[in-house]
Chain A
Amino acid sequence: MNADGAIQEPTQHVSLRGMPLWLLAEVTYRCPLQCAYCSNPLGFARYRDELTTEQWVSVFRQARELGSVQLGLSGGEPLLRKDLETLVGEARTLGFYTNLITSGVGMDERRLARLREAGLDHIQLSFQADESELSDQVAGRGHFEHKRAIARAIHAQGYPMVFNIVLHRLNLDHIDSILQLAWDLGADYVELANTQYHGWAFHNRKALMPTRAQLQHAEAVTERWRQKADGRMRIFFVGSDYYDQKAKPCMNGWGTTFLGVAPDGRALPCHGAAELPGLALPSVARTPLREIWEDSDAFNFFRGDHWLPEPCASCEVLAQCHGGCRCQAYLLAGDPAVTDPTCPKSPHHDRVLAAVEAADRPGTAKPLVFRTVENSRLLRGSGTDPNS
């Protein structure tokens, strides 16, 4: 009976490998905010159909049979689904740990109480900044005061509260004040998520990338807060791949742990899969989930590490990073099937270094392109097939 035993994967049990432990249900791409770093596909406006309540519940049931245990209810803004309470209730009854990932816009105390009654386990509330003006600047309309009120209500109703904020050039220097806000709101966990440059964030990369000095300062401030907040508030500082000079094991390896479902039912092996070329995403509305997970081309496309070319093929850390992120490989090297260019061994790594160095040079601020339906159509046209 020792403490280490709890965090190991005991061999007498069934291995966790190969189970979609984390099911992400992107229940809608509608959203009252317009964050310029949104991780939804640039072409989100083409997703007009949304799965029905019954279809989502069927997905939940099938995922539980495959071993899924954590459910993220995300979007867009999931609160825009009127059946959210029903979805939470059904998921909870099936045994999911239910996580609501929300901006808080559309939440009030009554709805919080109804969700609690339905069995919602936890709420991750996203902030854009420590004050109203900057929140608006980043998200179009930031609804800062409302978020603050909702954070207090979340805390008062006894939910564990995760305070989430995406960090970038415009808000990194506010880090001390941001952590103070999280502290004052009684956050249990704080996720300081540095921008990853895919989707809308890649499009706005020049405006969002910070200087290295900004990042170093933010890390130092965070470390001071860790000492102070020890025990009451846990702080996670998630670095950006561009600056960490290291490819991260995206999705813990393709088709190993993560199963996303877009609002219209397309199954996603990673958040950004809809923007990758050559992937035919199967639909949960037409294909059983087990078949999608085990047999579909999309989930098998990058499964395992055997397909990776050099410098990955002979690399000693391949089993840890799985070659990094497919979206970064596509966006930076033009090919999703090569080494993630954030890795210093990548032949395309100079592009990452050039972007980091450019962010260090003084220059005029670039305007942000907001995540709006109009911009989505301008950037990706108005057809209906996001894969075309």
Chain B
Amino acid sequence: MDRSAHVALARGVRLQWEPAQQARVLLYPEGMVQLNESAGEILALCDGRTLAEMIDELQRRFPDAEVGDDVLEFLADARRQGWVEWEDADHER
């Protein structure tokens, strides 16, 4: 994955805190996923900033964790699920 790719939530996908669930959730057409804390932290940063910026920010917040590979793996899966999107450098999937 290209570290200069701008990562955003996919069209129609919304992230919000649900008091009733005491958790962040991801909402999309007729569906919901309750997020654990780390997934919520990553997805909250998917606001159009670059992957490199996301990793820097997460590293700043969690200095004791090795965030790089885990974040990449998570985002690749989130993209397959249709939760996040970014343009590939060569415009191919």
A-side residues, CB < 8 A to B, are 1-3, 5-10, 13-14, 16, 19, 21-22, 65-67, 69-70, 72, 95, 97, 99, 121-122, 124, 158-160, 162, 188-189, 231, 234
B21 near A13 with CB under 8 A, answer yes
Residue A10 contacts which of B14, B36, B78 (CB distance < 8 angstroms)?
Answer: B36
A1 near B21 with CB under 8 A, answer no
Number of A-B contacts (CB under 8 A): 99
Within 8 A of A (CB), among B19-77: 20-23, 25-39, 42-43, 65, 67, 70-71, 73-74, 76-77
B12 near A14 with CB under 8 A, answer no
A231 near B20 with CB under 8 A, answer no
Residue B39 contacts which of A5, A70, A99, A158 (CB distance < 8 angstroms)?
Answer: A5
A16 near B34 with CB under 8 A, answer yes
CA distance A9 to B42 in the complex (A): 17
Which A residues lie within 8 Å of B28 (CB)?
97, 122, 160
CA distance A7 to B16 in the complex (A): 16
Which A residues lie within 8 Å of B22 (CB)?
13-14
Which A residues lie within 8 Å of B23 (CB)?
10, 13-14
30 intermolecular pairs with C-beta atoms under 8 Å apart: A1-B65, A1-B67, A1-B70, A2-B73, A3-B73, A3-B76, A6-B33, A6-B35, A6-B36, A6-B77, A9-B34, A13-B22, A13-B36, A14-B22, A16-B34, A19-B20, A19-B21, A65-B20, A69-B18, A69-B27, A97-B27, A121-B14, A122-B12, A122-B28, A122-B29, A124-B29, A158-B11, A160-B12, A188-B29, A234-B82
List the B residue with the shortest CB-CB distance to A66: B20
B93 beta carbon closer than 8 Å to chain A: yes
Grouping DSSP codes into helix (H, G, I), strand (E, B) and loop, the A interface class, with mixed when no group exceeds half, is loop
Q: Count B-side interface residues using an 8 Å CB cutoff.
A: 39
Q: How far is the CB of B39 from chain A (nearest CB, A)?
A: 4
CA distance A387 to B29 in the complex (A): 32
Q: How far is the CB of B93 from chain A (nearest CB, A)?
A: 5
Which B residues lie within 8 Å of A67 (CB)?
18, 20-21
Q: How far is the CB of A73 from chain B (nearest CB, A)?
A: 12
Besides A95-B18, A122-B28, 8 other CB < 8 A contacts? A1-B71, A3-B77, A5-B39, A13-B23, A21-B32, A69-B20, A160-B10, A188-B29
B16 near A159 with CB under 8 A, answer no
Which B residues lie within 8 Å of A188 (CB)?
11-12, 29
Interface centre among A6, A67, A95 (most CB of B within 10 A): A6
Residue A3 contacts which of B34, B65, B78 (CB distance < 8 angstroms)?
Answer: B78
Grouping DSSP codes into helix (H, G, I), strand (E, B) and loop, the B interface class, with mixed when no group exceeds half, is mixed
B74 near A1 with CB under 8 A, answer yes
CA distance A122 to B12 in the complex (A): 7
List the A residue with the shortest CB-CB distance to B12: A160
Which B residues lie within 8 Å of A6 (CB)?
26, 33, 35-36, 39, 43, 74, 77-78
Which B residues lie within 8 Å of A159 (CB)?
12
Which A residues lie within 8 Å of B81 (CB)?
7
CA distance A3 to B71 in the complex (A): 9
Interface centre among B20, B32, B67, B93 (most CB of A within 10 A): B20
Which A residues lie within 8 Å of B12 (CB)?
121-122, 159-160, 188
CA distance A234 to B29 in the complex (A): 12
Residue A69 contacts which of B32, B70, B76 (CB distance < 8 angstroms)?
Answer: B32
Which B residues lie within 8 Å of A122 (CB)?
12, 28-30
CA distance A39 to B82 in the complex (A): 29
A3 near B20 with CB under 8 A, answer no
A5 near B29 with CB under 8 A, answer no
B77 near A8 with CB under 8 A, answer no
Residue A97 contacts which of B14, B37, B78 (CB distance < 8 angstroms)?
Answer: B14
A5 near B36 with CB under 8 A, answer yes
List the B residue with the shortest CB-CB distance to A4: B77
CA distance A99 to B76 in the complex (A): 27
- Given A5-B36, A6-B39, A95-B16, decide whether A14 and B30 contact each other with a Cβ distance below 8 A: no
